[in-house]
């Protein structure tokens, strides 16, 4: 019997329970190709910087995003999703002038304020992919292009330039039960999923997105 060894081990959370999740590098690269399709809708110039804000255990969700940046000739830089690393977010934004920041959560907003920085000034003129707990605050900021990023189990849903949250349709089957999003793997994976109830809610669409991607997408429904 052959034992398959993972290349990365990350985590995902569903209904308040955190579970380890194993992947091979090939699985992350496949997901990166899909994310590149979504990123192309923004027409970022080649050579531009994009800042990713995440934590180590989110490697399964964000490694494909960083691979997608490479595919498009973009440069990536990183900061931790922590109020204590918010100063690094401000510093990197000032030094590298990224066209976009992905993964902003409430920890970043609170950390920036704690350190005397105005989040609206730090984010001004950029695309900001915000997590659900920070989206409303980012959307209210002037001169900021607010987009959503949602961790749907081990998958990353990324909003395109047209405002649709896309997920990899070749990699995942996404359905809903009473608006709750349910995730199953479609291709071979070292750690397959079958009907994972994600705890996130959304309205799935069955029409092609205006951005040109044929990947499935949904409108996010915030928790009440």
Which residue's entry shows tokens 């996010």? 220
Contact between 60 and 13 under an 8 Å Cβ cutoff? The reply is no
Q: Is the dihedral of CA 110, 115, 119, 123 positive or negative?
A: negative
pLDDT digits 0-9 by tens, 172-200: 999 999 999 999 999 999 999 999 999 99
φ, ψ for residue 127, nearest 5 deg: -85, 125
Strand segments (E) across 68-195: 75-80, 100-104, 127-130, 145-152, 155-159, 165-166, 172-177, 180-185
For residues 208 and 162, give the distance between their C-alpha atoms in angstroms, rounded to a whole number: 12
26-41 pLDDT, tens digit each? 999 999 999 999 999 9
Question: Tens-digit pLDDT profile for the chain (224 aa)?
Answer: 345 789 999 999 999 999 999 999 999 999 999 999 999 999 999 999 999 999 999 999 999 999 999 999 999 999 999 999 999 999 999 999 999 999 999 999 999 999 999 999 999 999 999 999 999 999 999 999 999 999 999 999 999 999 999 999 999 999 999 999 999 999 999 999 999 999 999 999 988 899 988 889 999 998 76
Q: Dihedral of CA 20/15/27/193: which sign?
A: positive
What does the pLDDT read at residue 1? 39
Full-prediction pTM beyond 0.85?
yes
Instruction: Round to whole Å and give the CA distance between 159 and 216.
Output: 11
Q: What is the mean pLDDT of the chain?
A: 95
Task: Quote the pLDDT of residue 214.
Answer: 86
Q: Is 223 exposed, middle or buried (0-12, 13-18, 19+ CB in 10 A)?
A: exposed
By C-alpha distance, which of 169, 181, 150 is closest to 208?
Answer: 169
């Amino acid at each position: 019997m052959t034992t398959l060894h993972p290349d990365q081990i990350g985590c995902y959370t569903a209904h308040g329970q955190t579970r380890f999740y194993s992947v091979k590098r090939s699985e992350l690269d496949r997901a990166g190709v899909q994310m590149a399709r979504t990123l192309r809708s923004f027409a970022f110039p080649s050579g531009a910087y994009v800042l990713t804000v995440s934590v180590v255990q989110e490697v399964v969700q964000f490694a494909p995003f960083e691979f997608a940046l490479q595919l498009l000739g973009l440069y990536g830089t990183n900061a931790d999703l922590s109020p204590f690393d918010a100063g690094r977010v401000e510093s990197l934004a000032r030094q590298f002038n990224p066209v976009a920041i992905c993964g902003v959560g409430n920890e970043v907003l609170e950390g920036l304020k704690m350190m005397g920085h105005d989040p609206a000034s730090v984010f001004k003129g950029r695309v900001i992919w915000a997590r659900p707990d920070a989206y409303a605050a980012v959307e209210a900021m002037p001169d900021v292009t607010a987009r959503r990023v949602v961790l749907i189990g081990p998958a990353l849903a990324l909003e395109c330039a047209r405002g649709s949250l896309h997920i990899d349709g070749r990699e995942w089957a996404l359905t809903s039960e009473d608006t709750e999003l349910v995730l199953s793997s479609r291709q071979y994976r070292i750690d397959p999923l079958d009907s994972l109830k994600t705890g996130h809610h959304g309205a799935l669409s069955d029409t092609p997105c205006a951005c040109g991607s044929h990947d499935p997408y949904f409108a996010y429904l915030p928790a009440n």
